[in-house]
Amino acid sequence: MPDPKSESIEVLAPRKEPGILPATNRIKNLPWWALIILMLGIALVYAIANLPNYADAFYFIVPGLKVTLTVSITAFVIALVIGLIVGLGRISTNPIIYNLATFYVEVVRGIPMIVIIIYVAYVLVPIFISGANGLGAWILDTSWLGFLQDIGNSLSSLDITQINPIARAIAGLAFGFGAYEAEVFRAGIISIERGQMEAARSLGMTYLQAMRYIILPQAIRVILPPLGNDFIAMLKDSSLISVLAVRDLTQLGKLNRSRTFRTFETWNTVTYLYLSMTLLGSMGVKWLERKMKSGER
Amino acid sequence: MENDNIITIRNVYKRFKHVEALNDVSLDVKRGEVLFIFGPSGGGKSTLLRCINQLEKVNEGEIIVDGIRVTEPNADLDKLRSEVGMVFQLFNLFPHLTALQNITIAQEKVRQWPKEQAVETAHRLLKRVGLPEKADAYPDQLSGGQKQRVAIARALAMNPLIMLFDEPTSALDAEMIREVLDVMVDLAREGMTMLVVSHEMGFAKAAADRMVFLADARVIEEGSVEEIYTRPQHARTKAFIEQILY
């Protein structure tokens, strides 16, 4: 029978210092996985420089990088704004605000991201546009709102056919990720001890002042690494917008394959481009984590 | 009509889920008075202070601070709190701000005072609590006693009418209690209205005008320090004083 005590002692045993490891162990502990990725990258660069099919695929696909990055960054910034507002709603003591915020979070988190993107692009955006049209027409018809005529004109002239797929894609991703960022913000805010809010309020600050000057600056340090991870997730999930025919990395990959029938070249290139972005991203997050832990301010 | 009361507490009840924290508590505090509130833990002392600046809402009864009925639903609580300084047991300094910024932030954001004036006030107060050299230190670079003195300066910066101290020395190591009490005694001598929840009988003797013994959510006994300390009328008070003096 194994003695539970000896097991726990083994767990507690101090880790060997890397400096005093024998040479074979040091080799064993090298980040081989990173070296393999690096070598695959070198192989890809070599292929692009020397093989016409690879060069062709690469130059066709690489503009998609810009689209993927633009859509991801824009959608993430909007998702952060949604997340902050909804996250505050999730900790609100007002039952109406709390329930609205929770409704959004629970609904969105219960639906696959690709369905959210399609739903927002083809259902919510059109509803929003026709709502804006209606509001604009109402403003123009209502005499005492004459001073809003410019707004009425621009709202009623919004045209659903002019809302391009990129805008719909950004709306869909932001709407979908907003729910997850809301939970990150909520967790960060409630991780700050209660006394901070009480001290701020006891000095006469309003709830929003206390949030802005006292709670959020502290919470942001806690949530920066998870937000970074969510941005990396956004970079990956932005590939789903190819269902809207947005010419991002994935969509250009699909187009290139059907144009050239060069499956290997196409998807090797697409895969490696995503991988380089996400790996760079997670290196950034690790750096952030270390900075938040050591620097503190 | 002679009414010099800055705080009037009338028949206040406060219940938390199943616990009665305040049971028919009435108390008057005169302008410039130093009130020492003591009693066993869980007796409702902290709750009483927190009801005065409405960090807790009362279930019944009314509290009037400087002529304003703060228990009314439409009372301006932000205004009230900016006039009532509070010092907490665990300091609650803002860890992302320096000592100086801890003292200036509410002056700037709540009072809208210009930055130069706020900084000047902060330096003056840091000097007053004996920490002129700690302006740029962050809270985690300060000892407990230093933190509490910065917290007192932070509350004083708002130029409050009243100062509430909620067990200001209970979280401090023995050798740091004195430096905080010294600041509080000075403040009392300058005529600040103070409500101090504490077990530091030394402070009560040095600076308190009146003592209130609060236990089981009620005011058991109140009177001058002399009366309560040397001739407690109530057996409960007597037993408690004997206990903490050991």
Digit-coded pLDDT (tens) for B90-124: 999 999 999 999 999 999 999 999 999 999 999 99
Q: Pick from A199, A209, A217: which is nearest to B88 by CB? A: A199
Round the average pLDDT of chain A to a whole number and report it: 90
Q: Does B53 touch chain A (CB under 8 A)?
A: yes
Question: Helix, strand, or coil here: B14?
Answer: strand
At A3, the pLDDT band (50, 70, 90 cuts) reads: very low
Chain B residues touching residue A221 (CB < 8 angstroms):
96
Neighbours of A67 (CB within 10 A): 20
Nearest chain B alpha carbon to A194: B92
Q: Does residue A2 register a pLDDT over 60? A: no
**pLDDT score of A24 more than 80:** no
Per CB-CB distance under 8 Å, the chain A contacts of B82 are: 203-204
- Which sequence spans correspond to the domains of chain A? 49-286
Q: Of A196, A203, A216, A296, which to mutate for an interface test with B (greatest number of B Cβ within 10 Å)? A: A203
pLDDT at position A5: 47
* pLDDT higher than threshold 50 for residue A85: yes
pLDDT at B18 over 90: no
Helices (H) and strands (E) in chain A, counts: 15, 0
* Record: contact A202-B53, CB cut-off 8 A: yes
Which of left, alpha, beta for B66 (phi over 0: left; psi -120 to 50: alpha)? left
For residue A213, list chain B residues with Cβ-Cβ distance below 8 A.
105, 109
Which residue from B minimizes the CA distance to A204?
Answer: B82
| Inter-chain touch B158–A204, beta carbons under 8 Å | yes
Q: Which of B95, B109, B154 sits opposite A218 (nearest CB)?
A: B95
Contacts of B53 in chain A (CB under 8 A): 202
- ipTM score assigned to the predicted complex: 0.93
Q: Is the Cβ of B13 closer than 8 Å to some Cβ of chain A?
A: no
Q: Chain-wide mean pLDDT for chain B? A: 93
Beta-carbon separation of B109 and A213 below 8 A: yes
The answer to whether residue A214 scores a pLDDT higher than 70 is: yes
Full-model pTM: 0.86
Chain B residues with CB inside 8 Å of A203's CB? 81-82, 105-106, 110, 154-155, 158
Q: Quick: pLDDT tens for B183-196.
A: 999 999 999 999 99
Interval B220-245: pLDDT, tens:
999 999 899 888 899 999 999 888 87
Interface of B with A in 77-96 (CB under 8 A): 78-79, 81-86, 88, 90, 92-96
The pLDDT value given to residue A14: 56
> What residues pair up with B238 in beta bridges, in sequence order?
none
Residue A213, chain B, CB below 8 Å: the answer is yes
Residues from chain A contacting residue B94 (CB–CB below 8 Å): 196, 199-200, 214, 218
Higher pLDDT, A22 or A109: A109
Give the tens place of pLDDT for each residue, A138-169. Answer: 888 887 877 888 888 888 888 887 888 999 99
Cβ contact (<8 Å) for B94 and A196? yes
* Residue in A202, A206, A218 nearest the CB of B96: A218
B51 close to B12: Cβ distance less than 8 angstroms: yes
Give residue B207's pLDDT band: very low, low, confident or very high (50, 70, 90). very high
Q: What angle do CA B186, B187, B189 make, to 5 degrees?
A: 65
**What is the nearest CA distance from B210 to chain A, expressed in angstroms?**
25
In CATH terms, the fold of domain A49-286 is MetI-like fold (1.10.3720)
CA-based nearest distance A202→chain B, Å: 5
Where residue A1 falls among pLDDT bands split at 50, 70, 90? very low
User: Percent of chain A at pLDDT above 90?
Assistant: 73
Q: Which DSSP string do the residues of A89-111 spell out, in sequence order? A: HHT-S-HHHHHHHHHHHHHHHTS
Q: B22 — phi, psi (to 5°)? A: -135, 130
Cβ contacts (< 8 Å) between B106 and chain A: which residues? Answer: 200, 203-205
Q: Which tokens sit at A69? A: 């990055």
pLDDT digits (tens, 9 = 90+) for A51-80: 999 999 999 999 999 999 999 999 999 999
Q: Does B168 touch chain A (CB under 8 A)?
A: no
Structure token digits, residue A170: 């950004």
| Residues in B touching A202 (Cβ below 8 Å) | 53, 55, 81, 84-86, 155
Give the model's confidence band at B12: pLDDT under 50 very low, under 70 low, under 90 confident, else very high: very high
Q: Once rounded to an integer, what is the mean pLDDT over residues A79-85?
A: 97
Residue B232, Cβ neighbours under 10 Å: how many?
20
Higher pLDDT: B243 or A200? It is: A200
Residue A241 pLDDT > 90: yes
CB contact under 8 A, A204 and B85: no
- Residue contact B82–A214, C-beta within 8 A: no
Answer whether A191 touches B (CB < 8 Å): no
Beta strand B5-16 with B218-223: parallel, antiparallel or unpaired? unpaired
Judging contacts by C-beta atoms under 8 Å, the chain B residues touching residue A209 are: 109-110
Determine the 3-state secondary structure of B12 from DSSP. strand
Q: Band of the pLDDT at A8, cuts 50, 70, 90?
A: very low
Residue B191 token pair: 């005529």
Whether residue B57 lies within 8 A of chain A, CB to CB, comes out as no
Q: Does the pLDDT value for residue A19 go beyond 70?
A: no
- Answer whether B152 touches A (CB < 8 Å): no
pLDDT tens-digit readout, B20-57: 999 999 999 999 999 999 999 888 999 999 999 999 99
What pLDDT, on the 0 to 100 scale, is given for residue A31?
A: 86
A199 with B94: Cβ contact below 8 A: yes
Nearest by CB to A195, from B53, B83, B90: name it. Answer: B90
**Alpha-carbon dihedral B41, B43, B45, B48, rounded to 10 degrees:** 150
Chain A residues within an 8 Å CB radius of B83: 204
Residue-wise burial string across A199-234, b where 16 or more C-beta atoms lie within 10 A, e elsewhere: bbbbbbbeeebbbebbbbbbbebbbbbbbbbbbbbb
With a CB cutoff of 8 Å and minimum separation 6, the contacts of B182 are none
Statement: residue A121 has pLDDT above 70: yes
Say whether residue B244 is in contact with chain A using an 8 A CB cutoff. no
Residue range B152-179, pLDDT digits in tens = 999 999 999 999 999 999 999 989 999 9
Query: For the residues A17-26, what does the mean pLDDT come to?
Result: 67
Helical spans, DSSP H, in chain B: 45-52, 77-83, 99-109, 115-128, 144-156, 174-189, 201-207, 225-230, 235-245
CB count, 10 Å around CB of B38?
24
